Amino acid sequence: METPIFDELKKLKDKNPISFHTPGHKGKNTLANWKEYIPQIDITELPGMDNLHDPRGIIKESQSLAAKTFGAKDTLYSINGTTGGIYIALGTITSPGDKILIQRNSHKSIYNGAILNRLDIEYVYPNYNEKYGIFTGIEPGTIEKKLKEDLKIKAVVLTYPNYYGICPNIKRIAEIVHKYDKILLIDEAHGSHFAFSEKLPISALEGGADMTVQSIHKTLPSFTQTSMIHVGTDRVNIEKLKTISSLYQTTSPSYLFMASLEIARAYMEGEGKVRLEKNIERIHKLIKRLREIPRVSVFTGDEEDKTIFDKDITKILFKIDGITGPEVSSLLRENYNIYLEMEDYQYCLALTSPMNDGRDFEVLIKGIEGIAKNTFYQEVNHINMDMPEPKIGLPIYEAFYSKKKTLDLKDSIGKLSASFITPYPPGIPLICPGELIREELIEYIGFLMDKGIEIVGLIGYNKEKIEVVD
């Protein structure tokens, strides 16, 4: 019997790695003895089991408990992840042909949601801190300027926190958005734990967001693909939300996923909250120790940058001088059995959750210290990852569904892209469907590829081709 996926998963399990990546349960079977229940509780809508698409019993009760815990007026489970939740949220607060204001470094689910819901896009740009090579926050004033200039904008869609844990002034942004009678939707994929500690940034709901979508599985102990959609204000049509939810979610929702969401929420109301507080103390000590190691730097948001209003300390962003991020990550994985969430050319991101314990942090410190001490120093050239402002020739959805042809990169200059061209990391599109392909962009893509940055969206064995609008 050939089972390549299962075989590789078994190998990973046997390694018993230390997880500083998603999901938030960190592979630790501590909330429920799942082996006693799986596969018996992997069921469908049997009598008494309720229905996610028309909840009247236990699912309705479970979602109500979640709403109370997270401070929402209403909460819906998204078992298609936050990606599905974003599609649902955008479909709820807009109609085809509406315009939304999004930040250019949005997750691809927001771009895809605009395509699916046939929405026009206007951009607001995050600050690029050139000194640190990091995209930081959004200035509230830039949002107000956009809303003043374009009265057609129906909703504002922002990310809070960003991948690095950086938070803009969400309260001020909400005040501005509501001043202009618009709706504020927050992609809060990495912030579901904020509700459980006063030592962390406030949640988007507390900041005044009308809707927020949270990846419970990223920072809390639930299964991958489990998220929640929270409604914060009366500006959101709840009945339309339920209708759109049924449109985008499977008709066979997983009871394992729904139970996982419920158990994670219940756990965080008690022991999980205590563990989170303990880990925040550990992280403060860890950062202090890391900063005492020669060559090691930790980005904590204390640096001078007016767009950083707050910083999630549970996301540990560090670098080692003279070693690239991918090299550091590889050495931690090979020599210390530590798996990180992300690495870019300079930085590594260790994503923590309440399920990490004291030993995890000690091994992380030991690994970073060992690499900094024993790895030869080599010059790591600074790469400017700032994003050029695009020239839009077609709405994103028209370009995506258009007739296409494939050209060599050098021949695509002056054409409209039919694809997303995205360097990973940081995962921010250089080019989106409908945008003009300029010579400087092609040169920049070549530069990034020479530096070993993966470019997603190009075609061909050597990624030398691109799809354009025919």
Co-location of 411 and 449 in the same domain: yes
Output the pLDDT for position 35: 87
Co-location of 56 and 191 in the same domain: yes
Output the pLDDT for position 425: 65
420 φ, ψ (degrees, to nearest 5): -90, 130
> Would you list the DSSP string of 58-104?
HHHHHHHHHHHHHT-SEEEEETTHHHHHHHHHHHHH--TT-EEEEET
Co-location of 156 and 291 in the same domain: no
SS3 128: strand
The domain boundary, picked from 202, 234, 268, lies at 268
β pairing state of 315-320 and 227-231: unpaired
Does some domain include residue 214?
yes
Co-location of 91 and 208 in the same domain: yes
Co-location of 337 and 458 in the same domain: no
Query: Are 324 and 173 spatial neighbours (Cβ–Cβ below 8 Å)?
Result: no
Mean pLDDT, the chain, integer: 94
Domain carrying residue 406 = 396-469
Does some domain include residue 66?
yes
Does some domain include residue 4?
no
The domain boundary, picked from 268, 291, 325, lies at 268
Q: How many domains are there within the chain?
A: 3
SS3 351: strand
pLDDT in tens, 314-336: 999 999 999 999 899 999 999 99
> 365 pLDDT exceeds 80?
yes
Burial class (CB in 10 A: 0-12, 13-18, 19+), 294: exposed
Does some domain include residue 281?
yes
Does some domain include residue 391?
no
Co-location of 77 and 175 in the same domain: yes
Co-location of 340 and 445 in the same domain: no
> 389 pLDDT exceeds 90?
no
> 36 pLDDT exceeds 70?
yes
> What average pLDDT does range 69-96 have in this prediction?
97
405 φ, ψ (degrees, to nearest 5): -145, 160
Output the pLDDT for position 426: 65
Q: What is d(CA 283, CA 318) in angstroms, rounded to the nearest whole number?
A: 13
Does some domain include residue 284?
yes
pLDDT in tens, 99-118: 999 999 999 899 999 999 99
Does some domain include residue 300?
yes
Co-location of 103 and 226 in the same domain: yes
CATH code (residue 445): 3.90.100.10
Q: Global pTM?
A: 0.95
pLDDT in tens, 159-187: 999 999 999 999 999 999 999 999 999 99
> What average pLDDT does range 261-270 have in this prediction?
97
As given in the structure block, the two tokens for residue 207 are: 């900041």
Rg (CA), the chain: 22
Co-location of 421 and 439 in the same domain: yes
CATH code (residue 298): 3.90.1150.150
Query: Are 280 and 199 spatial neighbours (Cβ–Cβ below 8 Å)?
Result: yes
Query: Are 217 and 24 spatial neighbours (Cβ–Cβ below 8 Å)?
Result: yes
The domain boundary, picked from 227, 251, 268, lies at 268
Co-location of 353 and 321 in the same domain: yes
Residue identified by tokens 């139970």 is 259
The β-bridge partners of 103 are: 124
- pLDDT-derived band at 454, boundaries 50, 70, 90: confident
CATH code (residue 148): 3.40.640.10
Co-location of 443 and 326 in the same domain: no
Does some domain include residue 360?
yes
Output the pLDDT for position 350: 98
CA distances from 78 to 44, 87, 118, 240, 339 (A): 16, 10, 22, 15, 27
As given in the structure block, the two tokens for residue 3 are: 């089972």
Residue 119 identity:
L
Co-location of 59 and 191 in the same domain: yes
